[in-house]
Amino acid sequence: MNGKTIFVTGAAGFIGSNLVKRLFLDVKDATIVGIDNMNDYYDVSLKEYRLKQLEQQAGETAWHFVKGDIADKSLIDSLFEQYRPQVVVNLAAQAGVRYSITNPDAYIQSNLIGFYNILEACRHWPVEHLVYASSSSVYGTNKKVPYSTDDKVDNPVSLYAATKKSNELMAHAYSKLYNIPTTGLRFFTVYGPAGRPDMAYFGFTNKLRRGETIQIFNYGNCMRDFTYVDDIVEGVVRIMQGAPEKRQGDDGLPLPPYAVYNIGNNQPENLLTFVDILQQELVSAGVLPPDYDFEAHKELVPMQPGDVPTTYADTAALERDYGFKPSTSLRDGLRAFAQWYAKFYGK
């Protein structure tokens, strides 16, 4: 990717900002263009903090940030015309399963119209590779575990999941019609420092710190494939450099240069184990006092609409094609989060 122009949407987001930081370190003579609408779905000061870090760490990299929305077609077209990116990573999306029940409009705008605008731009200003975020949510209540990209995923249980599956279908159509190399990445429960406050580990920490009660869904009988953000970024960087090959079919027409991969820890953890490790690390980092009464602040409740009991990634294809398997332990990942939280919010 040395010397190339790379366009990253959602650049002030959790994964996006970590990816851009990594590109600053790894890619020589690159031009990196980031876009983010900086919406207030969660605390904007966190997005501003991530952006400030990027400005401080850009070094000699040509870094251009645009505050804007991928649902704005004229803006996306003008950016592609101006910068002519060779590699595009679409991480901008309205995230969250539960919010899609209360505010579906945001998901249609960002996840469908926004992604369509990116695809159209890649069509008119051809790119070497479009990498885009999908989600483990597409697996719905799939009974077969671990989840494989070969599994049928036609039964979403939330609008968010439906939009992510739609992204995969749209990408396939554009790969077939216009020979655009596309790779979708199904992320599994990403966590880490400066993450999203709507994720369980962050929300639990905020509530415990305020002395409030945390609710543990499905009475604690949830399994999640928690994946540390650095592992996600490592997977994305490797995949960015390995665009699906353009090939001709037997009929002389192009075969769609299209792929989908899981990026998950391949080791689901029980939610109660997760909470136990989190509380230990919060005490160790000084976020909570050593004598904190956790049992008095825990409540086991039923499953919420749109949620699934288990996520579990089959990462065999990622290992086979890119020689990579996420490996950061839950203990190490939550320790890094707790230490960051203590610095950012104070002990």
| pLDDT tens, residue by residue, 116-164 | 999 999 999 999 999 999 999 999 888 888 999 999 999 999 999 999 9
User: How far apart are alpha carbons 324 and 94 in whole angstroms?
Assistant: 28
State pTM to two decimals: 0.95
Distance of CA 253 to the CA centre of its chain: 33
Helix/strand/coil for 57: helix
Give the chain's residues under pLDDT 70. Answer: 306
Q: What is the pLDDT of residue 119?
A: 98
Q: What is the pLDDT of residue 330?
A: 95
Cα separation values, 39 from 42, 89, 106, Å: 8, 19, 11
41 is catalytic: no
| pLDDT tens, residue by residue, 240-250 | 999 999 998 88
Cα separation values, 309 from 125, 258, 268, 273, Å: 42, 30, 11, 15
Active-site residue identified among 160, 174, 258, 261:
160
